[in-house]
Chains A and B, each alone.
Chain A
Amino acid sequence: MSTHEISVTVNGKAYQRTVDSRLHLADFLRQDLGLTGTHIGCEHGVCGACTVLVDDATARSCLMLAVQAGGRRVDTIESVALPDGTLHPIQAALSRHHGLQCGYCTPGVVMTLLELQRECGNDPVGEAEVRRALSGNLCRCTGYQGMVDAALAVLPKASSR
């Protein structure tokens, strides 16, 4: 049993906190920082509801200890929309295409799609690739179709479809 001082940047803001060694990052974000948008669905790295960005790469925050986040940059769902509440194009597309219902898996889905968007750059992305990217986010409500449509609407398309 140990406690540790960490300095971590979350959503662009620097925090200094003392954390218990066994506190995982998801709990740290939710409980210590009050950022409850990151959700816990399984605590064994399968459902993806806890997906955040750590140094710009998606990670299962339930499989990372808070102490491991020391010195790193973490970005959560709360950083995605603009400060005035304006939705990011991915978020807006999810609503337009009915890619969310209960909203529980949604923050994780948004973070996954953000990474996909960043990594594909200008290269066209097809449905199979979107589905593969989303395969690590479990959803029990939507059947995924709305999410896939939302992603395809926002990401670059092949010139002839």
Chain B
Amino acid sequence: MKPSAFTYHAPKTLDEALDLMATLDNARVLAGGQSLMPMMNYRVVQPGHLIDLGRIPELAFVVDTPEGLKVGAMTTQRSIERSALVRERCPLLIDALFHVGHQQTRNRGTIGGSICHLDPAAELPVTACALDAVMTVASKNGRRKIPFADFAAGYLTSSLGPNEILIAIDFGPYLGSRPERAGSAFEEYAVRPADFAIVSVAAVIAMNEDDVISDARVAAGGIAAVPIRLTGVEELLKRQRPGADLIERVAATAAALPAEGDDANPAEYRQELAGHLTQRALRKAIQRVRA
């Protein structure tokens, strides 16, 4: 299974990369290669040009900004996993990464690559969805910011223009100014632990001093073509005191959402999983707030 022929480019700066994107036809960006190379080896995709971003050091970073955590698109999953800053500022990412592939793939796989690939149940896109992450996208014509909901255009399809590259992801301030009153959890069901999730749910809960839910973010992957926010569920949670009844009701709402299925994992199965995983994720998130 050898890929079809292509011309390989390894720009050393972002500008060089953007120039190449603007001038080359049938070009694809190579990030960590963990999603793209299998597709190329299977000849499912056959780019004429491969633009390797791996030699552009400024695209890999993890920084804390006044607006929240910001991560370069080419940051490897492994370095995010190991980052004390991420653990402190955005623990949902750490939880999500626990389920992502294997060490061998996380060593080279990037956060940007996973988010742009947009597998419907993949953990990093679901996390970005839950946190309303904002994508910084660059082209020769400049930069723009795209919130995740607009970035995820369709099945395996981002809204990146033909000459655009994702360069950074802003994860925001993690729910308001009091991160110590927030808790998050990532739950998924996969047949084997490291497999692609069939359904995954990310939940972030913020509570005020009166133990009332002040903010709730719940995102699910694997029930639609792209990860989606369960806004109905979120509304049910807000301004409520957490309790078993509430969680059950909310989970039932999640399970009632329409889902798209396939031969191997039909819609009904995915709906049930969505309900169940929402329940688990919320319980855990709330427990973590209280801890």
Contact = CB atoms under 8 A, between A and B. Distances in A.
| Interface size band for A | 20 to 34
Nearest to B7: A2
Given A1-B5, A63-B108, A135 B194 contact: yes
Interface stretch (B37-45, B115-123, B146-154, B251-259): B37-45
Contact of A112 (B3, B6, B50, B104): B104
B94 to A, nearest CB: 16
A43 B5 CA distance: 16
Contact of A62 (B5, B41, B50, B78): B41
A68 B6 CA distance: 14
B290 interface: no
Contacts of A21: 5-8, 50
Nearest to A2: B7
A136 B102 contact: yes
A102 B68 CA distance: 51
B9 to A, nearest CB: 8
Interface string B80-120: 00000000000000000000011111011000000000000
Contacts, number: 89
Contacts of A115: 103
A132 B103 CA distance: 9
A24 B37 CA distance: 9
B34 A132 contact: no
Given A64-B33, A135-B192, A44 B104 contact: no
A112 B125 CA distance: 27
B215 interface: no
Interface in A58-76: 58-60, 62-65, 67-68
A106 interface: no
7 contacts: A2-B8, A22-B2, A22-B3, A24-B2, A44-B37, A48-B102, A62-B37
